[in-house]
Structure 1
């Protein structure tokens, strides 16, 4: 039995584009678990607003680096760690781009490989470049002002980080796009497309 930990933001958590949360069976980690079989455990540890390494002045506890070690110990031993973070890094109050988001992911990779007191083995890492941001609407528009162009560079920088750190890589923008409803979050079809793509990458790893 393999334990797969999905460490992400609202795209992993299951945010509905116009607000609310999808029921469990419509979130991509659950769909991935269905594809892998119930003898394996896929854990959805997404949190809306989570960043790679940044403290959000408006949302408490969203620094992904600060909670990763605790997550790995809580759910460990983890066989596969899936990292899909960076979308929230592009919120305008952080004043950073895809390059800095990718460097944040690299810090998460390094953290996941630090020896622990439980002698848990180092997990296999899957790095996912988040989907491109479309035209944000409603409350998303102000938060992600300027993020559309920045998000188009996720693929390049995340792939570089994944190769350098010997991680499995997936470019989400190559298989899906966010919903037109808010330009950021995933519809049910995109959740299914993401689950299928990850399954193809990791089915031989377990």
Structure 2
């Protein structure tokens, strides 16, 4: 199961606010990963635009809190063998005032849920791959929303890698393979989705 925000949902770079689009299957990264892994795998896509690690959004609503969403997803689907989590971008919005360490704490709260006896037993055990999203760019459509986000997101890989090591989960830094689009500073274009999908498939193949 892939669990994330708009970049897991497949939202393309947005030249204007409040528009909705979604890249097609075969282009968005979870489906690229699924195809690369082969027919023995079955994909569950759980990407919600606006989702945070553990923050209630004052504009979009409390359901953007990833703690709520992860519990729902783990109780809606199953059994699963692998959970791929990529979150943290939305937490970097200036309105939340979160530091890189605070965003990492939000990710830790999700690992705590996923590692709980309740959900590990429910699914007869599953592995976790934590993916750090690439740095945001303070430009384009959402540049002002992510004021100071570039420097904070640049620190996330270091903190996420340490967190993954502490929890004993697998880790991949998406920023080593792709960049956010300068159109809006946060979303991935089609080529980046394909590149990330293959990078994650290669990582999963080694687990």
The answer on whether the counterparts of 2:104 and 2:163 sit within 8 Å (CA) in structure 1 is yes
Which residue of the other structure, out of 5, 12, 26, is the alignment partner of 1:9?
5
Q: Name the CA distance, whole Å, in 2 between partners of 1:181 and 1:129.
A: 21
Q: What's the counterpart of residue 122 of structure 1?
A: 125
Within 5 A, what are the aligned runs for 1:1-206?
5-18=1-14, 19=19, 20-60=21-61, 61-116=63-118, 119-138=122-141, 140-205=142-207
Gaps of 5+ in 2: none
TM-score, structure 1 as length reference: 0.92
The answer on whether the counterparts of 1:136 and 1:184 sit within 8 Å (CA) in structure 2 is no
Q: Name the CA distance, whole Å, in 2 between partners of 1:48 and 1:110.
A: 23
Following superposition, the deviation at residue 41 of structure 1 comes to: 0.9
TM-score, structure 2 as length reference: 0.92
The answer on whether the counterparts of 1:81 and 1:124 sit within 8 Å (CA) in structure 2 is yes
Q: Name the CA distance, whole Å, in 1 between partners of 2:89 and 2:125.
A: 26
1:82 counterpart SS class: strand
Following superposition, the deviation at residue 57 of structure 1 comes to: 0.8
Q: Name the CA distance, whole Å, in 2 between partners of 1:84 and 1:72.
A: 16
Structure 1, residues 174-205: CA drift from partner, whole Å, max 9, x if none?
11101121111001111111111111111144
Q: Name the CA distance, whole Å, in 1 between partners of 2:189 and 2:138.
A: 15
RMSD: 1.4
Q: Name the CA distance, whole Å, in 1 between partners of 2:158 and 2:111.
A: 17
Q: Name the CA distance, whole Å, in 1 between partners of 2:57 and 2:74.
A: 22
The answer on whether the counterparts of 1:86 and 1:98 sit within 8 Å (CA) in structure 2 is no
Structure 1, residues 82-118: CA drift from partner, whole Å, max 9, x if none?
1100000011110012211111111101101212386
The answer on whether the counterparts of 1:13 and 1:47 sit within 8 Å (CA) in structure 2 is yes
Gaps of 5+ in 1: none
